[in-house]
Amino acid sequence: MYPAMDVTAGEKERGTMESLLCSPVPRTAIVLGKFLTVLAASLASMLCSLLSMSVSFVLGAHLLLGAGAGAPHGMVVPVISLAGVAGVFVLIVPVAVLFSALLLAISLLAKSMKEAQSYVSPLVVVIILPAMMGMLPGVELNAKLALVPVLNLSLACKEMLSGVWHWSYLALIFASTTVYAGAALAGAVGLFRREAVLFRS
């Protein structure tokens, strides 16, 4: 959120947007550079989260089982698939592109960092609610749910981490999220070309 707000509303607030637009660089290149900055921050935080989760899970299972000892009677120790972690990373990339572009576009509409924060904050709810729905018992991945952003990822991650792979649904999730991401990025580029948005006062 904060890199997206800083490179858009933050630059407007500091008055550096005008000098940037005066440089002999196409506006599309400028907005793509800003987008790649936000995406890099998003992917870095995602990679750190996945690594942290994986290491915590492995260490937790090792501590629970003890050095060479079996699990206590009646205790089920969950198993996480390393291939599933890699699959989660691949599926999250288009989602990161989607939300990086959305954050950039929404923040660009604001005049200041404070206003951008008020615009962007509701997006957290849009992400959390579908993710929580995906964790509910009885909600299973199907063709319709594979088209719903975030919910589809939550359901797919749950299955991949347990070693279950539905390749047709995974392909549908990746393709649909890529289309949404492309549309969001095109929208961000379109907004950046509008003077009324860039110099909104």
Enumerate the H helices of 24-150 as residue ranges. 27-65, 82-108, 113-120, 122-134
Distance CA 132, CA 150 (A): 10
C-beta pairs of 64-70 under 8 Å, 24+ apart in sequence:
none
pTM, whole model, 2 decimals?
A: 0.78
Query: Pick from 161, 153, 198, 158: which is nearest to 180 by CA?
Result: 153
Burial class of residue 9 in the structure, from the number of CB atoms within 10 Å of its CB (0-12 exposed, 13-18 middle, 19+ buried): buried
| pLDDT tens figures, 110-157 | 888 898 899 888 888 888 888 888 788 878 888 888 888 888 888 888
Mean pLDDT taken over the chain: 82
Model confidence at 47: pLDDT above 90 = no
Banded model confidence at residue 22, pLDDT cuts 50, 70, 90: confident
Span 96-115, pLDDT tens digits: 999 999 999 998 888 888 98
